[in-house]
């Protein structure tokens, strides 16, 4: 589903994206840990359902996509918006107190539903997490399309591959409270930013061997 922001939210969205991009690596780790060790804490050791999200953030930082004072504007914005959605949900802000941009993000509602599920020990908590995650990421990708267009072409293509891989994991309801997704990220995703064409081709070939049919082919040279 495509979420198109109303035109009158332009300035509010721009400010929210700016805030998301300016989060430091330390702040990102703290917000994530605060959410999954606080409001979303369950009986699972460590970060519980947030383990895979923390592993992905670690990869984003170690690969240079998120870096204090540098890195990728697109990757830093997408991750930051995800964390801001979590924070808004954890604060249980009433609609009149939340920013217009936060209200428009479907992820905020999704994360609040996850918190309710964890509190009641719902057996659907994993599905609720994926629903919230994809709501936040989908919205963020929509409003940050301009930032993606500014990335080098191989990196743009890789970002689309990464979104497709995550979407497939969500549709399969893959467990996020263990090391599986983190190990896959470390094994297949690039260790440097930005990715080059040869590394992207190698990545796609490796994912194809895993049977990742959701992985799109990179765009042809010169396309945007």
- The CB density around residue 184, as the number of other CB atoms within 10 Å, is 18
Structure confidence at residue 103 (pLDDT): 54
**Whole-angstrom distance, CA of residue 26 vs CA of residue 141:** 23
Does any domain span residue 201?
Answer: no
pLDDT in tens, 93-105: 654 455 555 556 8
Alpha helices by DSSP H, 40-174: 51-62, 73-90, 100-104, 106-119, 125-143, 145-149, 153-171
Helix (H, G, I), strand (E, B) or coil at 149: helix
Does any domain span residue 3?
Answer: no
DSSP assignment of 46-78 equals TTGGGHHHHHHHHHHHHTTSEETTEE-HHHHHH
pLDDT in tens, 137-182: 999 999 999 999 999 999 999 999 999 999 999 999 999 999 999 9
User: Could you list the residue range(s) of the whole structural domain that residue 13 is in?
Assistant: 9-151
Does any domain span residue 38?
Answer: yes
Does any domain span residue 192?
Answer: no
Does any domain span residue 85?
Answer: yes
Give 60's pLDDT tier (boundaries 50, 70, 90): very high
Overall average pLDDT of the 8-24 stretch: 84
Does any domain span residue 169?
Answer: no
Res 73 pLDDT > 80: yes
| Among 47-61, 69-83, 118-132, 201-215, the least confident range | 201-215
Structure confidence at residue 121 (pLDDT): 86
Overall average pLDDT of the 23-45 stretch: 90
Structure confidence at residue 68 (pLDDT): 98
How many domains in the chain? 1
CA angle centred on 194, ends 188 and 199, rounded to 5°:
45
**Whole-angstrom distance, CA of residue 156 vs CA of residue 108:** 26
The whole-chain average pLDDT of the chain stands at 87
Does any domain span residue 223?
Answer: no
Structure confidence at residue 170 (pLDDT): 97
Token pair of 145, please?
């399309």
Does any domain span residue 203?
Answer: no
């Amino acid at each position: 589903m495509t979420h198109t922001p109303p035109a009158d939210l332009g300035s509010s969205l721009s400010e929210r994206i700016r805030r998301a991009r300016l989060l430091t690596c330390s702040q990102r780790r703290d917000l994530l840990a605060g959410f999954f060790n606080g409001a979303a804490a369950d009986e699972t050791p460590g970060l519980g359902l947030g383990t895979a999200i923390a592993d992905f953030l670690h990869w984003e930082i170690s690969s240079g996509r998120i870096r204090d004072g540098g890195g990728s504007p697109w990757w830093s914005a997408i991750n930051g918006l995800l964390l801001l959605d979590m924070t808004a949900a954890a604060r249980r802000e009433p609609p009149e107190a939340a920013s217009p941009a936060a209200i428009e993000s479907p992820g905020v509602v999704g994360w609040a539903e996850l918190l309710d599920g964890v509190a009641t020990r719902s057996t659907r908590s994993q599905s609720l997490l994926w629903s919230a995650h994809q709501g936040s990421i989908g919205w963020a990708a929509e409003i940050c399309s301009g930032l993606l267009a500014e990335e080098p072409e191989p990196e743009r293509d890789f970002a689309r591959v990464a979104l497709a891989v995550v979407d497939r994991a969500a549709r399969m309801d893959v467990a996020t409270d263990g090391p599986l997704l983190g190990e896959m990220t470390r094994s297949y995703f690039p260790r440097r930013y930005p990715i080059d064409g040869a590394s992207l081709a190698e990545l796609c070939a490796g994912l194809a061997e895993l049977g990742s049919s959701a992985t799109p082919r990179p765009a042809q040279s010169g396309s945007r």
